[in-house]
Structure 1
Amino acid sequence: MPRAMLDGVVARGVSPVFVGRGPELAELTEGLARAREGEPQAFVVGGEAGIGKTRLLEEFLARARASGAVTAVGACVELGADGLPFAPVAAVLRSLHRQFGTALTEAATGQEDELARLLPELGVPGQPAGDATDRARLFELTTRLLERLAADDPLIIAIEDLHWSDRSTRELMRYLFRSVQRAKLVLVATYRADDIHRRHPLRPFLAELDRLRSVRRIELARFTRSEVSAQMAAITGSRPRPGLLGSVFERSEGNPFFVEELTAGGPGSAMSETLRDLLLVRVEALPEDVQDVLRTVAEGGSSVEHGLLAEVARRPEPELLDALRAAVGAHLLAPTEEGDGYRFRHALMREAVVDDLLPGERARLNRRFAEALERTAGLVPGDQRAARLASYWYHAGDRAKALPAVLEAAAQAHRRYAYAEQLRLLERALELWDGVPPEVLAGLRPIGPVWGYPAAIDGAAEPVGQVDVLAEATRAGVLSGQPERALAMAKRALRLLGERDEPLRAAWFWTQRAWLAEGPGRGDGRRELDRARELVRGLPPSVVHAQVLALDAARRSAERPGPEMLETAERAVQLARLVEAESTELYARVTLACLRADSGEIAGGVAELFTVLDRILERGEVSLLGRCLVNLVSVLSFIGHLARADQVAAEGLRLAERYGLENTKGWLSANHAQVLIELGRWDAAEAALAAAARARGVQPRIAARVLAGHLAALTGDLAAARAALAATHAETDTTDLRPSFVIELAVVGVETAAAEGRFEDARDVFRAATAEPFPSFTTALVWNLLIVAARAEALTRGLPASDRDRPAAVARIRRVLKSMARTTPMWAAFGHLVEAQVLRAEGRDTAAHWETAVAALEELGLPHHLAEARLGRAEALLAEGRADDRERVAELLRLVRAATAELGAEPLRQRAEQLATRARIALSAPARAAVPAPADQFGLTPRERDVLALVAAGRSNRQIAEELFISPKTASVHVSNILAKLEVPGRGEAAALAHRLGLVPAG
C-alpha cells in the first residue's frame, strides 16, 4: 500500500492515550539509557501496516526529547523498485543541520565537499561520484559525523519505512550498524513486515542484521482484547460495551489502525469507503485470475480447504496453484496452520473483498460451496460440515435448504456447549421460517431436549414448530449469559401461544421470564413467577410444576427470611423426584444445601453442595453448573473456609471458560475477589475484580464495583471508594439491588464517611442498613459491617463532636451483635474483634480483650483483621502503662507495619506509625537483628523481591504481570524501581547482580 494513501486517511478517532507497547517502549528506553553511557544502540522495528510502528516511534522520540536527547527522523519514499537514493539519510542530516547549526558545520570541517553529496547545504560536491572506495569514504565520513554529534548528548536517528529503502540507503545503514563505536547514538529503523515478499531486497538485509549481536529486532504483535478495549476507551472517552468491543476486536484482529477506523464509525458501522479502498488497492494490482481466486476464498469463510476450493473454483490445478502462489506472495493469503487450506492474512482484507462482490456473485459462490459439500464427502472436517453448510445455503438465499441445515448446526452447537453460537443459529432459523414451504416444515425434527420444556421437542415424532425453536433459543440465551435476548424469545413465544390451550408450555415460558427478570430495572421476577404458579395450579404433577416450585424456593431464600423457606425447598426436591426431573431436583438441592449451611448445619450443607456438584458434572448439566459453583464459593467464603473457596473459585473459572459460561465467570470472579480480599492477596483481588467488571450481566458488574470500593477504602483511596458508591447509586435504586449488595454498600459507606470525619453520616448508613432483618447468606457481610461500624465508634472516642450520639450508636451495634451467629471460627473471631472495638468506644477495653481477638484471628489467615486486632492490643497495652510491655508493643507495631505495607493498607499503617511516634517507639529492627538481608540492603519491598526473582528467571513484564496477578503497567513500574535501587542500567545486569548477591533463591 502506498504510504501516501495511508497518510491521506483522515484519522477520525486517534487514541490520545498511548496504549500497549509497554515492553517495546521499555526496551527502547533501556537502549537510550545504555547510549547515555557511551554504548551505541541499534534497533529494527517490524510489523504489519497499521500495527503502530510510527506511534511507538513517536512516543519514544517525544520522551527522549523531554529527557534532553536530540532526535532526527527520515522516511524512505516509494519511487519504484529501488526508491530514491539516500532520501531518508538526507532528511536526517537536514534535520540535524537545523538543530545543530554551526556545530554540525564544525563537525564536518574538512569533509564538506564529500558530505555535500548527502547534505547540499554544506557546499558543492567537489568531484563526480567515483568508485567503491569513494563510496566507502562517504559512509565513513557520515559515521564519524554522527559520532561527533553524539559525543556529548544522546542522539537518536530514526529511519522509517525501510521496506521502501533504496540499495544505497540500505548499504549506508548496514555500515552504520556495523561501524559506530563509542558514541551516545541510537539508530532505529522501521519496516512493514507484510510488504516483504520472498524476493524483496530488504529480506537479505534483515537476515544480515540478525547476525549482528549489536542490532536488536522488535516485532510488534497485534493488540490483545484488553488493549483494544483500552484503545477504544481512550478514543471515545468511555469503556466500550462488550458487544461493540467483541465486534471491533474480531474485525480488526487487534490491528490498532483498524481499531481506530472501526471505533470512529460507531456501533455496528460498516467499513468506511476510505478503508475499503485502501485495502482493495493491493488486490486490484493483481491479475484478474488471481483476483477471482481471492474472491472465491473470501466468500468461502475465514479459511478454505484446498480440496473444497478446487471443487468451487473450477480451474485446472496448475492454474489454481499459480494464482494461489501469487496471492500468498503478495501477502494477501497465507496457508492455514494445518497446511490443508488458505486464509486471508487479515480479516478486514477478506471483509473488503466480500463487500466488493455483487449480490448475485455472492449467492452463486455460496451455492457452489454448498453443492460441493453435499456432493463430496470429506472436503471439510466433520465437526464443521453442518455449520458450513448452513452458512452457505443461507447466503445462497435458498431458504428450503437453509432451514434444516441451520437447525442441524444449532443442534451440534448445543452438543458442544457453544450456546452463544446456538442462539445465533436459532435466531437465523426463526428469520428463515416464514419463507419455507409447508412440506419442508413438516419434515423438521426436534433439535434436542430443553430443560423441563413439555412438548414434542422431547423426542416425539411430531414436527418442530416455531414455539419449540423459541424454547431452545430462550435456554440458549440463558446459558450464554444473554438475558435480554432470552427474554425477547420468551415474550415472542407467549405471544404465539394460547395459554388456555397449552398452560404447561405457557407456564414454562413464564418461569423462564421469572428466571431472567431479576436485576436492576427488570424487577424481581415475582409477578412472572406468580403467573406461572397460577397456570400449573390444579394440573397433575409435572416437570414444569417442579421447576416453578424450585425457582420459588430459590427466590424466597434470597429475600427476607421466613420459616417457610426450608419447607418450600424440601417440597421442590420431593416433587422433582416424584416426576423424575433430576435436573430440577439438583437445582432445588443447591437451594436446600445453602439454606442448611446458613441455618447452622454447615458441614451437612457444604457436603451436599459438593455432592450435587459431582452429580452435575457426571450428568453434564451445564445449565446448572454455574449456579452450583457460584453458591459453593459463596458459602465456603461466608463460613470462613477461605482456602477451599479460593481453590473452588479457580477450578470453577476453568470450568466456566471451558463451557462458555460468561455470566458464571463474572459471578465467580466477583466472589473470588471477595475471598482474596479477606486472604490479603489484594493484587490478585484487583485482577479478579477487573474480570468481573467485564461480565455481561449487570449484577456481577455491580458486585465488582462495590467490592472495588471496599478495597479502595482499605487502601485509603477514598476518592475511588466515593466514586464506586456514586456510580452504583446512579445506576440503580437500592430497592433493585440484591440484599448482599445493600450490606456491602453500607460497609463502604461507613468506612468512607468515618475516614473523612463524617461520623453522623457513618451512623446514618449503619442505622439504615440494620433497620430490617438480614436475609440469608449475608452473615459474613453483616460481620464486616459491624467491624467497620465498631471501628468508627472506637476511633471517634474523645472527639466532642461525636460524643453525644455515641451511646445510641453503640447500643445499636450491640443489638445487632447479640443477634449474630458465631457458629464458625471466623464468625467467632469477628465477634471478639467487634466486642473489643465497642469496649474501646466506651473506654472500657483492656489488653486482654484484644488478646482474645488476636488469638482467634491468628489461626485464620486474615491479615488485615489480624493487623487491626494487634494494633488495638498495642494501644491497650500502652494505655495500661506497664513499662515491661513496651517491647511487646514495639513488636506488635512492627508486625502491623509489615503486614499493612505488604497489603497496601495505608490507613492502618499510618495509625500504627502515628501510635509509635506518640509512644516514642522506634519501629526499626532491634540492634541484634540489625544486619539486613541482601535484598534489604537495597531497600527492596517484598513485592519488588518477588518481581526481581521473576526478572532473574528471564520473565517479561507481561509474564510477570500474569504470574503475580498485576497489570503489565504495574510490573513495569516495579522493574523500573528495582533498576533504580540496584543502580544497574538494565534487566540483564539486575539478574546477574541478584544471583551474585543472593537476592533471589538459588536455582
Structure 2
Amino acid sequence: MRGMVVSPVFVGRHEELATLASELSKVQTGRACFVLVGGEAGIGKTRLVDEATRLAETSGLRALTGRCVELGPEGLPLAPLAEALRTLSRSASPEQVDAWLGPARGPLAHVLPSLEPIPGTAADQGAHLPELVLGMIERLSADRPLMLVLEDLHWADQSTLNLLTYLIRTLREAPVLMVGTYRSDEIHRRHPLRPLLSGWERMRQARRLELVRFRRDEVAAQVAAILGRPADPGTLDLVLDRSEGNAFLVEEMVEVVRDGGGDAAGLSPTLRDLLLIRAEARSAAAQRLLRATSAAGRQVPERLLAAVAGGEPAALFEALRELVENHLLLVDEGGQGYAFRHALARDAVYHDMLPGERAGWHVAYAQALSSNPDLAADQAGAPAALAHHWLAALDLPAALPALLAAAKTSAMYAPAEQLTHLERALEIWPRVPDAAALTGTDLIEVLTEAGDAAYRAGSVDRSRSLVGQALAELGENGSVSRRALLMWRRGRTLLDLGQHDESISILRAALDLLPAEPLEYAHVALLTPLAATYMRDGSMQEAATVAERAVAVATAVGAHTEQAEALITLGWVRAFLGEAESGIATLMDGLRLAEQIGAVETAMRGWTNSSDALEMFGRHQEAIDSANAGLELARRTGSVRTHGAYLAGNMIESMVHLGHWQEARRAIAQALRSEPEGLFSAALLERAAQIAVLSGRGEEAARIAGQARAMVIDSNEPQFLHPLAGDLAEAQRLAGDLDAALATITEALRHPGHAHLARFSLPLIWLGTRIGIDRAILARDRRKAGPSDEIVEQLVAMVGDFPVITPADQGYALMIAAEQTRLPTAGPPSSQEWHGAVTAWRAADEPYMLAYCLFRLAERQCATSDRGEAVRAAAEASRLAARLGAEPLSAEIDALARRARLVLSDEVSEEPAPTSPDPMAQFGLTEREREVLGLLAAGRSNSQIAAELFISPKTASVHVSNILAKLGVTGRVEAAALVHRLAPSHPALIPPGPRPGR
C-alpha cells in the first residue's frame, strides 16, 4: 500500500470536537441532544463526526451511522435508516434485534427486506413509521445511550427529512445524540432542507456547528502529518494556494505533490483538474473502472460493478487494487463494495465523461439490475436505482415502467417518494409511445395512484388536483364504477378541507351514477364515508339510514374493512338516537371485526368512538378503560401523536368529569410529550386549560386556551371552539371581567353546532347564563342601571335547539333553568329547581357540577331559612370542592358560609384535624411558589416543574430564583433540606404523584 493520504492526526476543529463531547456528556445524563454540522464539500465534516463517534464508543455509547444517497429525485427513501439498521442487525443477536425493533419490525422490513416482516403485521402501520422508529430508538437507548449520525442531509429524501424532524421534536428524555451533516454550499433558497434548518436552530436541544476552512498553520499541520515530515515553504504555499484551506483538497494536493516529486507548479488551478490529475495517472483499465464506478453513485456493490464492467475477474481485481492503493476508492464498511473517498472526486470523474459514455454506463447498470435485482446493495432500493439509471440514459420507454415499479415499492412506507416517482412517470408519459401497453396500466390509473399517494403524504390540495385530472381524463363516457370511485376520492379531500356540504353532494352524485344492481365494491366505498360525513354533519337519521345500507352492502360484497367502518358509524349514531346499549354493542361489533382483520386505522376509530359514546352516557370509568385499550393499540402501531392524542383526550375528559384532576394532569403531560400537532394537540391543551381554570389558575388557563385556539383557527367546529371559549370565559370571570366573558361566549355561540354537539354547547350556554345573571345581580347591588335580560333570554332559548338525551344534558338543562331563579326579577326564592339539578348531577356522577349545584342549593336554602338543610348541602359541596382542588368554588362556598354564619367544620369531616401552624408562613411564599417549592423539594428539575404545572421553563426558573431568595438559601439542595426539616408533611408542600414514563 502507498503512504496514507488522510492525516493520522486530527487537525484543528478542537473547539467543535469539544462541543460534541459536551453534548455526549449531556446524553449520558439522560438528555436528548441534536447537533447540525455544516460546511462546504470537503471541509472535514465527516472527519469531525468520526472523531466524535470514537469518543462516543469509548464512553460506552452505541454509535449508528446512515448516509443519504445522491440519486436524483428518484432517490432511495429512508436510505440512512436502512444503513443504520443494517449495522445494528450485524452487531447483535436476532433475539436482541427483535426486542429493539418491537412493533416497528413489520414496516421497517420494507426499508430493509433482510428483517423479514412478522406474518400478520398490519399493512397500514407503515403510515405511522416515524412513531414506530421513535419507539425503537427509545428501546435502543434504554439498553445503552445512542449516538445516531445522519450524513449528507442535503441529499435526503422527503421521508428522511420528515422522520428526522419528528425525532428532533419528540425525543426529549432519551439518552440520544443525533448528529446531522450537510453541505452548506448546496442549500439554495428553494432547497427542502433550508426551512428545516431555520426551525431546528430555534430549538433548545439543537446546536449548529459551521466548519470553516483551515488557516495556514492548520494546513501545515495536516500536510506534515500526511507526509510524516514538515513541508518546505514552497510546497506549503502551493498546497495552500490551490486548496484554499479545504481539508479534502489539501489531501489531494499532497498526493499530487508526492506523485510529481514535489513539483506541481504547472498544475491547472481549477478544482476539476485538481481532482482528476491523480485519476489520469492511473492505468487505462483502472480509469475505465473508475468511470464505471462513478455512474453508480458514490458507492457500488462489488458484484454489481463486476457485472457492469465485464471482463476477467483477475483483471477487475487488479484494476480495483490499483484504485484502492492510490486512495481513489475505498472498501466500504461492510466489505461488500467500493466507494469514492469523497463525493467531490466522484463528481469530477462522472462529469468528465462524454454524454454518450455516461449514458452507456447507466444502460449497463440498468440492464444488470433488470436481469438480477439482487445485485443492488439493498433490494428495497433496486427499483428506484433502476428508474434512475434508465432516466439518466434518457431511455424513457424503459424508465416509465421502472418508475411505476419504484412507486409501488415506496407505497407502504414512503408516500412522499411514491408521489415523486409517479409525478416523474406522469411527466414522461406523453413522450412514451404506447405507454399504456408498455406498462399494463393507463394514465387515469397513474393519476389515481398519485392522488392517493399525495393524500397519504398529507398533500390534500395536490391530491384533489390529481384526482380532478383523472376525472377529466376519464370523461363522461368512461366506466361508471371508476368515475364513482374517483368522485369518492374527491369527496374525501373536500371533507378534509372542511367542505362538508360539497363532500356530501359529490358522494351522493357518485352513488346516483351506480346502478342499483349488481352490488359492487364501489357502492360500499361511497356509502361508508357518506354515513360518516352525515354523522359528523349532525344529520343523524340520514347517517343511520346510510350506515345500515353500507353494512348490508359491505357484507354482501365481502368488503370487511368497510363493513367494520359502517358498523362503528351505525353504532355511534344509534347510541346518540337513544338506543344506548344496542348502539354500543353494534359499535363494538365493528371494532372487533376491525381488530380481527388487522385494520388498525379502523380499530383506532372504533376505540375513539366507543370511549366517546360511553362518556356521553356518563359511564366514565368504562370510557377510561376503552380509551386505554385504544391507547395501547396506538402505542403498538405508532399512532400516539394522532389517534392516540384523541384517545388520550377522551380518557382525560372522563377523568376530569370523575374528579381525578391530578391523574388527568399527568396524563396530559405524558400525551403532550409525543408532540401532537393541530387539532390533536388542541384537544389536550383544552383539557389542561379546563383543569387550570377550575383550580383557580385563570391566567395560566387563558394562556393555554390561547395556544389551543391558534391551532384550530381554521376550524368552525363547536367541539373544539366551545370548550375553549368556556375556559377563556371562566378565566375572564375569575378576573372580574364579566363583560369580556359574556362577549367570548356569545361570539362562540354564533356557531351553535348541530344537535349531536349538545355536550359541547350546553356547558357554554349554562356558563353564559350564570355570568349574565351574575352581572345583573352586581348591577343591582351597585344601584346602577342593570343590563337587560336579553342575553340571558337568548341563551336560555338556545337550550330548546338541543335534544336532552344524556345524563349530562339533563343536568345542564335543569341547571340553566335553576340559574334563572337567581335573577333580580325572579319571584320568591325557591330551592326546588336546584334540588332537581343536584339529583341530575348526582346521577351523572360528576362531582364538580354536583358541588356547584349543592352550593347554589345551600344559597337558596339560606334565603328560605332552611338552615339545617343549607348546612348539609354546603358541607357536602365544601368536601367535594376541597377534594377536587377547585379553589374558586371552595372560596365561594366559604364566602357563603361566612355570610350566612353556617358552621361547616363538623360536617366536613367526622374527625376534624386540629389546625397546625404553617412553618413556612414566615417566608411569605405565594401559592404558586409553594407549588414550585414542593416539586423542587421532590427533586424535580426546572423543565419537569414546568411540565407538571403547565408553565414555561423560563417561568419555572424565575419562580425558583424567587423562592431561593425568600428562603435565604444558596441552592436547590439547601432549599429541599429546609423544607424537609421544617415541613416534612405540610399539605401545601406535598408534590403531585410521580410522573409516568413514556
Q: What's the TM-score bracket when you normalise by the shorter of the two chains?
A: 0.5 to 0.7
Pair 516,937 (structure 1): closer, same or farther in 2 beyond 3 Å: farther
- CA 1:342–1:704 in structure 2 vs 1: closer, same or farther (change >3 Å)? farther
2:677 aligned residue: 694
CA drift at 1:495: 2.0
The sequence identity of aligned pairs, in percent, is 26
- Say which of 451, 468, 474 aligns to 1:474: 451
Deviation at residue 512 of structure 1 after TM alignment = 1.2
Matching of residue 608 in structure 1 with residue 586 in structure 2: yes
Q: For residues 391-421 of structure 1, give each alpha carbon's deviation from its aligned partner in whole angstroms, at most 9, with x where no partner exists.
A: 565566554444434433433444x465455
Check the 8 A contact 2:830/2:860 in 1, yes or no: yes
Q: 1:430 to 1:520 in 2, by over 3 A?
A: closer
C-alpha displacement of 1:534: 4.3
- The aligned counterpart of 2:437 is 442
1:493 matches 2:470? yes
Alignment match of 2:249 (pick from 284, 303, 314): 284
Given candidates 527, 552, 571, the residue that maps to 2:549 is 571
Quote the residue 2:408 is aligned against.
411
> What is the rounded CA distance, in whole Å, between the counterparts of 1:719 and 1:417 in structure 2?
40
* Cα distance in 2, alignment partners of residues 769 and 886 from structure 1: 38
**Mean Cα deviation higher: 570-579 or 846-855:** 846-855
- Name 1:460's counterpart in structure 2: none
CA contact (8 A) 2:668 2:684 kept: no
RMSD over aligned Cα, in angstroms? 6.6
Letter in 1 for 2:884: A
Query: Residue type matched to 1:685 in 2?
Result: I
Among residues 500, 506, 509, which one is paired with 2:483 in the alignment? 506
Of stretches 277-286 and 405-414 in structure 1, the one that deviates more from structure 2 is 277-286
1:63-96 per-residue CA deviation (whole Å, 9 max, x = no partner) reads xxxxxxxxxxxxxxx9xxxxxxxxxxxxxxxxxx
Please state whether the residue corresponding to 1:796 is helix, strand or coil: helix
Deviation at residue 656 of structure 1 after TM alignment: 5.4
CA pair 312-755 structure 1, distance change in 2 beyond 3 A: farther
Contact 1:47 1:221 in 2 (8 A): no
Residue in structure 2 matched with residue 896 of structure 1 by the alignment: 881
Question: Cα deviations across residues 586-636 of structure 1 (Å, max 9, x unaligned)?
Answer: 333232112101111122222222221221232233564554454344434
Q: Could you tell me how far 1:429 is from its partner in structure 2?
A: 3.6
Q: How many angstroms apart in 2 are the aligned matches of 1:508 and 1:912? A: 61
The C-alpha deviation readout for 1:267-316, integer Å capped at 9, x for no partner, is 637799x9798699343344579999999999978998787789889766
Task: Give yes or no for contact 1:725–1:749 (8 Å, CA) kept in 2.
Answer: no
Check the 8 A contact 1:51/1:221 in 2, yes or no: no
Is the contact made by 2:705 and 2:724 (CA closer than 8 Å) also made in structure 1?
no
Q: What is the aligned counterpart of 1:716 among 695, 698, 722?
A: 698
Query: 2:922 & 2:250 partners in 1: Cα distance?
Result: 65
8 Å contact from structure 1 (residues 569, 589) kept in 2: yes
- Corresponding letter in the other structure for 1:554: A
The residue identity in structure 2 corresponding to 1:426 is: L
Shift of 1:517: 0.6
Alignment of 1:685 onto 2:668: yes
Distance 1:465 1:776, change over 3 A: farther
Offset of residue 430 of structure 1: 3.0
- Within a 5 Å distance, the mapping from 1:435-834 to structure 2 comes to 435-436=431-432, 438=434, 441-444=436-439, 463-518=440-495, 524=501, 525-536=503-514, 540-561=518-539, 563-622=541-600, 624-625=602-603, 627-649=605-627, 652=630, 655=633, 664=643, 678=657, 680=661, 681-682=664-665, 684-685=667-668, 688=671, 694-695=677-678, 715-717=697-699, 720=703, 723=706, 727=710, 731-732=713-714, 737-738=716-717, 740-741=719-720, 743-744=722-723, 747=726, 751=730, 754=733, 775-800=754-779, 807-817=789-799, 823-830=805-812, 833-834=815-816
| Distance change (3 Å), C-alpha of 1:799 and 1:541 | same
Cα distance between partner residues in 2 of 1:371 and 1:409:
16
Per the alignment, do residues 720 and 797 of structure 1 end up closer, same or farther by CA in structure 2, a change over 3 Å counting?
same
On the 8 A contact 2:480/2:513 being kept in 1, the answer is: yes
* Residues 858, 866 of structure 1: 8 Å contact kept: yes
- TM-score scaled by structure 2? 0.58
* Residue aligning to 2:224: none
Name the stretch that deviates more: 279-288 or 250-259.
Answer: 250-259
| Separation (CA, whole Å) in 2 of partners of 1:425 and 1:312 | 25
Structure 2 counterpart SS, 1:377? helix
Q: Which secondary structure state, in structure 2, belongs to the residue aligned with residue 464 of structure 1? A: coil
Alignment check: 8 A CA contact 1:793 1:838 kept? no
Residues 343, 861 of structure 1: alpha-carbon distance in 2 compared, 3 angstrom cutoff: farther
Matched ranges for 1:204-223 at <5 A: none
Q: Kindly indicate whether the alpha-carbon contact (under 8 Å) linking 2:769 and 2:819 is maintained by their aligned counterparts in 1.
A: yes
Which AA in structure 1 matches 2:677? Answer: R
Q: CA, structure 1 residues 752+354, in 2 after alignment: closer, same or farther (shift >3 Å)? A: farther
Shift of 1:494: 1.1
CA distance in 1 between counterparts of 2:847 and 2:402 reads 58
1:780/1:326 Cα in 2 relative to 1: closer, same or farther (>3 Å)?
same
- Mapped partners of 1:824, 1:888: distance in 2: 25
Asked if 2 retains the 8 angstrom alpha-carbon contact of 1:982 and 1:990, the reply is no
How far apart, CA to CA, are the structure 2 residues paired with 1:410 and 1:296?
27
* Distance of 2:342 and 2:579 partners within structure 1: 60
Look up the match of 1:427: 423
Q: Residues 994 and 379 (structure 1 numbering): CA distance in 2 closer, same or farther, change over 3 Å?
A: farther
Q: 2-side partners of 1:251 and 1:356: how far apart?
A: 35
- Corresponding residue number in structure 1 for 2:119: none
Deviation at 1:549, TM superposition (A): 3.3
| Contact kept in structure 2, 1:533 and 1:548, CA below 8 Å | yes
Structure 2: runs of 5+ lacking an equivalent: 1-9, 17-21, 62-144, 170-176, 198-208, 215-244, 253-274, 280-286, 310-315
* Aligned residue type for 2:472: R
Shift of 1:468: 1.5
Instruction: Please tell me whether the aligned partners of residues 594 and 600 of structure 2 are also in contact (alpha carbons under 8 angstroms).
Output: yes
Q: Distance in 2 between matches of 1:364 and 1:988?
A: 76
Task: Judge conservation of contact 2:33–2:178 (CA < 8 Å) in 1.
Answer: no
Partners of 1:297 and 1:648 lie apart in 2 by 57
Please report how far the alpha carbon of residue 809 of structure 1 lies from its aligned counterpart in structure 2 after TM superposition.
4.7
Cα distance in 1 for residues equivalent to 2:841 and 2:812:
8
Contact 2:159 2:416 in 1 (8 A): no
Partner residue, 1:268: 192
| 1:308–1:612 distance in 2 versus 1, CA, 3 Å | farther
Residues 49 and 663 of structure 1, relative CA distance in 2, 3 Å threshold: closer
* TM-score, structure 1 normalization: 0.58
Asked if structure 2 preserves the Cα contact closer than 8 Å seen for 1:979 and 1:990, the reply is: no
CA contact (8 A) 2:858 2:870 kept: no
For structure 1, list consecutive stretches of 5 or more residues without a partner in the other structure.
8-19, 28-44, 53-77, 79-190, 208-218, 229-240, 445-462
Deviation track 1:540-584 (CA, whole Å, cap 9, x = no partner) reads 543323333333333223335464442233233333334443333
Kindly indicate whether residue 377 of structure 2 is the aligned counterpart of residue 377 of structure 1.
no
Is contact 1:295–1:353 with CA below 8 Å preserved after alignment? no
